[in-house]
Amino acid sequence: MKQPNPIQGYKVDKSTIINLEKGKIPPQAIDLEEVVLGAMMIDKKGVDEVIDILSAEAFYKDAHKHIFEAIFKLFENSEPVDLLTVSSQLKKDEKLDLIGGDFYLISLTQRVSSSAHIEFHARIILQKYIQRSLIKISSEIIEEAYDETKDVFDLLDNAEAKLYEVTQGNVKKSTETAQSLVIQAKKKIEEISNKEGMSGIASGFDKLDKLTSGWQPSDLVIVAARPGMGKTAFTLTMARNVAVNSNTPVAFFSLEMSSVQLITRLISSETGLSSEKLRTGKLEKHEWEQLNVKVKTLEKAPLFIDDTPSLSIFDLRAKARRLASQYGIKMIMIDYLQLMTAGGSQKGGNREQEISTISRNLKALAKELNIPVIALSQLSRAVETRGGSKRPLLSDLRESGAIEQDADIVSFIYRPEYYKIDEWDDEERSPTEGQGEFIVAKHRNGGLENIRLKFIGHLGKFDNLDDFDTPFGEFHSKMNEAANDDTFKPDNFPSASDAFDGPEDDGVPF
């Protein structure tokens, strides 16, 4: 008995045919993939031009992914790239049959005669990959948005993070092998060895830069102190050094002071005019000229200040990503940690847990943007109640031990003068007037040290402490000692005529 045809009698309407014609397939450029791979196998120049633009994931066709992986392995090992070597590498990887054998490789090389326009073609392949990535991310965002258990602020943060990765061309990488990581590390070491100066961003404080080799990318640095120690003064001085001296873009998030107050303090530091004079506006004519001339360097500095109060970690991450993509910021400073809120699902929770969330997210932000994040923090009152030395300890960090755990560097600012302590607690017992100490208490990748700095209170700034910073009283007593020493008496010095007479004189004019 003849079986009935299931299609027979089924009427296909016109709308179904139209929908099939408009069926969607992922963005792709198979023909350009073939051209680019063929050009890479016939011309070494083609490999050099696109090897750092494309990745295996950028290719739509699986066979093309395997071929690119083989070419990349040959390039990494400094081996020649051609039809025979690529075929041999695919055999080693047991993928030659998967791509269609030698015949398919030959057909790719026959499609092109040179590597002309290969970079342009590679860019189109990359664009198609970005389009596919956006479609994938959008689908994930839509799916998560329908999930009622998800916090809306977490959804926004995740969505923005994924889109930022695409913007930077850094669609999330899979797990990397030790071999590829070793190659990256060696390359970085070579770059550092060929680079003059330090590997990180210079703070402008010589001894500190020598200890840290500059602030390193992806590091979270905590600068903690009691109120009145000069936390804001220190970070503003550092922001100025980085932005003005090195012309490096810096973002400064101030949750305590307004942006105008901060820039006024920077103007005071830059011009040498006291904050009081700038606040009252009582300037002499020459001081107005001084202000107009010296402020020009500050006007041109790539310094971006945000004074949003009660900033949440979600808003901070969103703002930081935009600043990174628009202005290429290389450092973030936050004044200060305890004034931030966790936002999202953490809102209203235990304060210690909230601070833990904030510090963990700051470390994640530093890694994501691959830049140093410097966050100020308050210390507990235990410093004030402690007898003897008021020098801060790691246990004094306020509200959370997670800050110490998440940070790569934990440092303190200590000014004995604030506590009416006139002498340093060292062997020399030198005066503390106009001085402060930057204490590196935790350093994940280096040593610990207490670094003395000069504090200029009326200008609200810190500076390097050098040999000329000896207090006047101490300098005067040393001069008196020198005057009483027979070695320095005028009678013991030769006269000018004696100094240039005799056989030692070579007749060279001075």
CA–CA dist 115, 119 (Å, integer): 9
Asked whether the bond before 164 is cis by omega within 30 degrees of 0, the reply is no
> Buried b / exposed e across 154-173, counting CB within 10 Å, b at 16+?
eeebebbbbbbbbeeeebee
Would strands 435-443 and 449-456 be described as parallel, antiparallel, or unpaired?
A: antiparallel
Q: Which of 69, 165, 256, 449 is catalytic?
A: 256
C-beta atoms surrounding 126 within 10 Å: 17
Instruction: Yes or no: say if 264 and 275 are a contact pair by the CB < 8 Å rule.
Output: yes
Question: Minimal CA–CA distance to 307: which of 365, 380, 241, 232?
Answer: 232
Residue owning tokens 């990748």: 445
Amino acid identity of 328? Answer: G
Cα–chain-centroid distance for residue 295?
27
Q: Is 256 a catalytic residue?
A: yes
Q: How open is the CA angle 78-36-134, to the nearest 5 degrees?
A: 105
CA distance linking residue 389 with residue 412, whole number of Å: 14
**Residues annotated as part of the active site:** 256
